């Protein structure tokens, strides 16, 4: 419990410092600021500079939500069984979101390289690594109503839950590898192609996980 408290306080301090740093650079920002980047790595969407402050409040909001979830989950006691995994997930998400909040400033101050690889690295590289990491830890997640592959049959039976998380781990790793393999073809796919690939991978993976969980439920998979 004390370990969790120290971790969340440290992440809270990070979010506050991140917000304070944005406030420091805020007066120097133009209005509007870039808020969207195309697959050529160039800004192609703009918004009021107040968007920067709204965006940098996001990590704090997500942190508060992730801190509350284990306390209100009906299976809250199970979080202790995979506490390291959940804490690692929280740390990774908060740091990633804090980093993303700086894209506008880095573009305005010309810190980002003038390269078409930026978007593909963020989308394919970031999603690929995230899916692979989650896939490796998924089998160690215990029954809960918030984190993991939560099919109706898995939530109702611990054996089904464990089998479903193992299958979910495999599916997540496969999706992650597909994203990393697609990185060199990001510009060829374009924004529409990328969205189609993301949706196809997500929906296909979800169908596989639900189908497997149901087959375990009816006894077709032991």
pLDDT digits (tens, 9 = 90+) for 79-117: 888 888 888 888 988 998 898 888 888 888 877 655 555
Under 8 Å between Cβ of 20 and 57: no
Write the CB contacts of 41 (distance below 8 Å, at least 6 apart in sequence): 112, 113, 114, 115, 116, 117, 118, 119
Helix, coil or strand: residue 71: helix
pTM of the predicted model, to two decimals? Answer: 0.77
The residue with greater pLDDT, 218 or 45, is: 218
Task: Please choose, from the candidates 60, 56, 221, 204, the residue with its C-alpha nearest in 3D space to the C-alpha of residue 131.
Answer: 204
**Residue 53 clears pLDDT 70, i.e. is over it:** yes
Query: Which has the minimum average pLDDT: 1-5, 96-100, 165-169, 217-221?
Result: 1-5
Q: Residue 33's pLDDT band (boundaries 50, 70, 90)?
A: confident
Q: What is the pLDDT of residue 96?
A: 86
Task: Please choose, from the candidates 94, 90, 126, 108, the residue with its C-alpha nearest in 3D space to the C-alpha of residue 19.
Answer: 94
CA distances from 174 to 80, 116, 221 (A): 28, 26, 21
H/E element, 36: strand 33-37
């Amino acid at each position: 419990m004390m370990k969790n408290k120290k971790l969340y306080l440290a992440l809270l301090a990070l979010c506050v410092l991140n917000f304070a740093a944005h406030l420091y650079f805020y007066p120097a920002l133009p209005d509007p600021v870039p808020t969207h980047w195309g697959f050529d790595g160039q800004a192609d969407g703009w918004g009021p500079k107040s968007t920067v402050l709204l965006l940098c409040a996001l990590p704090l909001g997500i942190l508060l939500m992730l801190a509350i979830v284990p306390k209100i989950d009906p299976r809250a006691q199970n979080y202790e069984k995979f506490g390291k995994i959940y804490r690692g997930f929280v740390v990774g998400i908060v740091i990633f979101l804090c980093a993303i909040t700086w894209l506008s400033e880095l573009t305005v101050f010309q810190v980002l390289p003038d390269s078409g690889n930026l978007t593909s690295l963020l989308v394919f590289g970031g999603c690929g690594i995230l899916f692979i990491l989650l896939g490796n830890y998924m089998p160690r997640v215990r029954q809960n109503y918030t984190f993991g592959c939560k099919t109706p049959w898995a939530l109702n039976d611990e054996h089904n839950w464990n089998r479903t998380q193992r299958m979910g781990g495999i599916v997540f790793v496969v999706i992650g590898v597909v994203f990393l393999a697609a990185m060199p073809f990001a510009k060829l796919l374009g924004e529409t192609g990328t969205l189609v690939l993301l949706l196809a991978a997500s929906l296909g993976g979800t169908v596989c996980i639900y189908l497997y969980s149901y087959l375990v439920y009816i006894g077709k998979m032991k």
